[in-house]
Amino acid sequence: MKSILVTGGAGFIGSHTCLVLLENGLDIFVIDSFINSSQISIEKVCLVLKNVNVDVESKIHLIKGDIKVKSDIEKVFQISQKLNKKIEAVIHFAGLKSVSDSILEPISYWENNVLGTINLCRTMEKFDCKNLVFSSSATVYKAKSNRLLNENDLCEPINPYGHTKLTVERILHHLFNSKKSEWRIACLRYFNPVGAHESGYIGENPLGKIYNIYPQITRVAMGKQSEIKIFGSDWQTKDGTGVRDYIHVMDLAEGHLSALIYLTEEKPQFITINLGTGIGTSVLEFIRIFEKVNNVEVPFSFENRRIGDNASVVADNSLAKSILNWLPTRNIEDICKDGWNWQLKNPNGY
């Protein structure tokens, strides 16, 4: 395996994964429309690698394009052919990811996440590339607060975003069933990706309104927002606040490399794998740990529960650990330290 296409590679998880792929000697082609990112993240990835004397100039090819437009994806495969670097696998991050926006703009979400993926699969078939890692989400599950979620648990999304992710999983499963001897497909269900690369060069750079807890914690610590509004203090959890499985983005990025290696070494298959830590952290714990590790204050107040929230969403990650030869190695303290380092070095983002 030498050349990989990364759709949405300029985004949060994509940029960290590009870094891991390049560090491991792979050539990458990135297609991104920059609807939620900019090319600066890729320039920063190159900077991190140059600092450790890895030559990346000839190994990364960034192409601005939209996966909703099939010819844009075809162009990337054509460029790879001209360079005599056959794309052997795709990691597919490109997608819209806001639960709230998906309720306001459902058609954009279906068009981008589902039509975009259909275009990608058609193009992959055309260019005889049948290894695919897809970014799915724990949001597909019907949450069960009393225990860890495993891959066989019931899926029942409650918002348009989650439906688009589950629909793509099903399309990919049908595609695999139609040509079982050819496709290798892994759907990775991420839990709550947070943190940043330890260098502070790349991190999460949200554009538009921020809904997730972690970028808000760093904003409050920076004084850019007055406080965190904690949604609910009466959940059936250790301290009454919501519990989530926060996974360091670098552990997640490494999980993609492990999934690629696993897929290409094993027989053709369709597989769904949770990527989480298996450890639940409450909102209050998260805030307290962030304050302690970084010696900052993060004021908060309590609000009503947010519609659609659950008490606890934590991964059973035993499948990933057993088959991918992968283990998350960074803890919640590392998440707080690295995310804060990124925020301090990039107070206004990229």
Which residues are near ligand NAD by CB under 6 A? 8, 10-14, 31-37, 66-68, 93-97, 112, 116, 135, 137, 190, 193
Cα separation, 58 vs 178, in Å, equals: 37
Question: b/e string for 55-70 if b means 16 or more Cβ within 10 A?
Answer: ebeebbbbbebbbbeb
Q: How far is the CB of 326 from ligand WQD (least distance, A)?
A: 20
Q: Are strands 300-303 and 228-231 parallel, antiparallel or unpaired?
A: parallel
36 binds, among ligand NAD, ligand WQD, none (CB under 5 to 8 A by kind): ligand NAD
- CA nearest 149: which of 319, 314, 324, 282? 314
Residue 251 DSSP code: H
Q: Which residue is nearest to ligand WQD (CB)?
A: 242
Bridge partners for 3 per DSSP: 27, 87
Q: How far is the CB of 186 from ligand WQD (least distance, A)?
A: 16
What does the per-residue mask of binding to ligand WQD show for 112-141, with x meaning CB under 6 A? -------------------------x-x--
In contact, 130 and 69? CB cutoff 8 Å: no
- Is position 161 annotated as part of the catalytic site? yes
188 binds, among ligand WQD, ligand NAD, none (CB under 5 to 8 A by kind): none
Cα separation, 36 vs 113, in Å, equals: 14
Catalytic residue of the set 109, 141, 161, 201:
161
Q: How far is the CB of 18 from ligand NAD (least distance, A)?
A: 11
- CA nearest 189: which of 109, 271, 285? 271
In contact, 248 and 332? CB cutoff 8 Å: no
Q: Which is nearer to ligand NAD, 73 or 236 (CB)?
A: 73
Cα of 112 vs its chain's centroid, Å: 16
Cα separation, 260 vs 181, in Å, equals: 17
Q: Which is nearer to ligand NAD, 94 or 287 (CB)?
A: 94
What does the per-residue mask of binding to ligand WQD show for 238-277, with x meaning CB under 6 A? ----x-x---------------------------------
35 binds, among ligand NAD, ligand WQD, none (CB under 5 to 8 A by kind): ligand NAD
Cα separation, 226 vs 212, in Å, equals: 16
Residue recorded with tokens 């805030």? 287
195 binds, among ligand NAD, ligand WQD, none (CB under 5 to 8 A by kind): none
Q: How far is the CB of 12 from ligand NAD (least distance, A)?
A: 4
| Residues making contact with ligand WQD (CB under 6 A) | 97, 99, 137, 139, 192, 211-213, 216, 228-231, 242, 244, 283, 306, 309, 313
Catalytic residues: 161
